[in-house]
Amino acid sequence: MTNLIGRPAEEIESLVAPHTDRPFRSRQVAHWILQRHATSFDDMTDLPADLRRRLGEIFVIDDPEVVERQDSADGSQKFLFRLTDGVTVEGVAMPEGRKVTLCLSTQSGCAVGCRFCVTGALGAGRNLVPGEIVGQYRAMLRAISQEVERVNIVFMGMGEPLLNTRHLGTALDVLYERVSPKRITVSTAGILPGIRWLAERSRRPKLAISLNAPDHERRAEIMPITDRYPLDALMDEVRRFPLERGRRVTFEYVLIRGFNDLEGDPPLIAKLLHGIPSKINVIPLNEDPKHLPGWHRPADDTIDRFATKLSSRGLTVTVRWSRGLDVAGACGQLKGQQQAS
């Protein structure tokens, strides 16, 4: 049967219309799925019972199955989802009062292979289809116990979003039904064709670039994709990226002890970002001795000093003290695997 999750309103209406007696019924179905997050046709109480039964024989409203949920001491929640073919992926919900940030995955692994990321260390997986991407959002939102007034979405989970532009584009269109593009961020390791694709879209989310080094040589050492898309070319592409009023490009900088936290690095970063409306997220490395041997997080005073030096160069800087560390749900830690008991 055809799953209606991950489809824009007009597609849902087109699929459902031939099986309804009145045109407005298909609009009702789309509204229930996209606006009210219905999980079955039985939820659609303003539809006649016989129509609900008939539609249920033709279509399904299926989100990924939640296999495991781990609650962090800091309030964040990591979810393990099983997809219809048995593949598993992870997503993270980070509530804060009546706001929540949902971190979604776009692939079941990652072929980019950044050396500071567990997902990359575990290797490539397949692209997720729109229903599997949007389904993570729906499932996590349902699982959050407190009332949510504002949702932010970050595509910073498993996979490189801009290597899955076909399905990401549809998922974005569906998510825009409930979440403003200015509250959605797509993070990339620097896939130039993908950045151009994003730039050409009429409604664009915010752009985040995983930078992690102030020069090509060191970036290539920890991000092999740099050899294909050189740092200078990436920065040229970012400078051409159209920014809506008030928006800035976010540059993520995973701080690794003795590698990219040197005294002379903040001036190099400032020079690299000169002229780009931007902000920098400094992310202390989340260590994993098994999958990331030899890489360590800097001391807290080094982190603070590094951020202060960036700020003194006129840059907007935040330090992202990662959430979900105790459940391996922080930046770069997602594995898509069930935790051994």
Please pick, among 103, 110, 114, 331, the residue that the annotation labels catalytic: 331
Measure the CA angle with vertex 35, ends 171 and 204; round to 5°.
35
In b/e form, how buried is each residue of 89-114, taking b as 16+ CB within 10 angstroms? bbbbbbbeeeebbbbbbbbbbbebbb
Q: What contacts 35, CB < 8 A, 6 or more positions away?
A: 177, 178
What secondary structure does DSSP assign to 49-60, as a single string? HHHHHHHHTTEE
For residues 34 and 225, what is the distance between their CA atoms, to the nearest angstrom? 36
Is residue 90 annotated as a catalytic residue, yes or no? yes
Is residue 160 annotated as a catalytic residue, yes or no? no
Helix, strand, coil percent content, the chain, rounded in steps of 5:
35, 20, 45
For residues 335 and 339, what is the distance between their CA atoms, to the nearest angstrom? 9
DSSP state letter for 101: E
For residues 130 and 119, what is the distance between their CA atoms, to the nearest angstrom? 21
For residues 170 and 7, what is the distance between their CA atoms, to the nearest angstrom? 7
- The torsion of the CA quartet 60, 65, 66, 68, rounded to 10 degrees, works out to 170
DSSP state letter for 19: G
Please pick, among 90, 132, 160, 252, the residue that the annotation labels catalytic: 90
Bridge-based pairing state of the strands 184-188 and 99-103 = unpaired
Residues tagged active-site:
90, 331
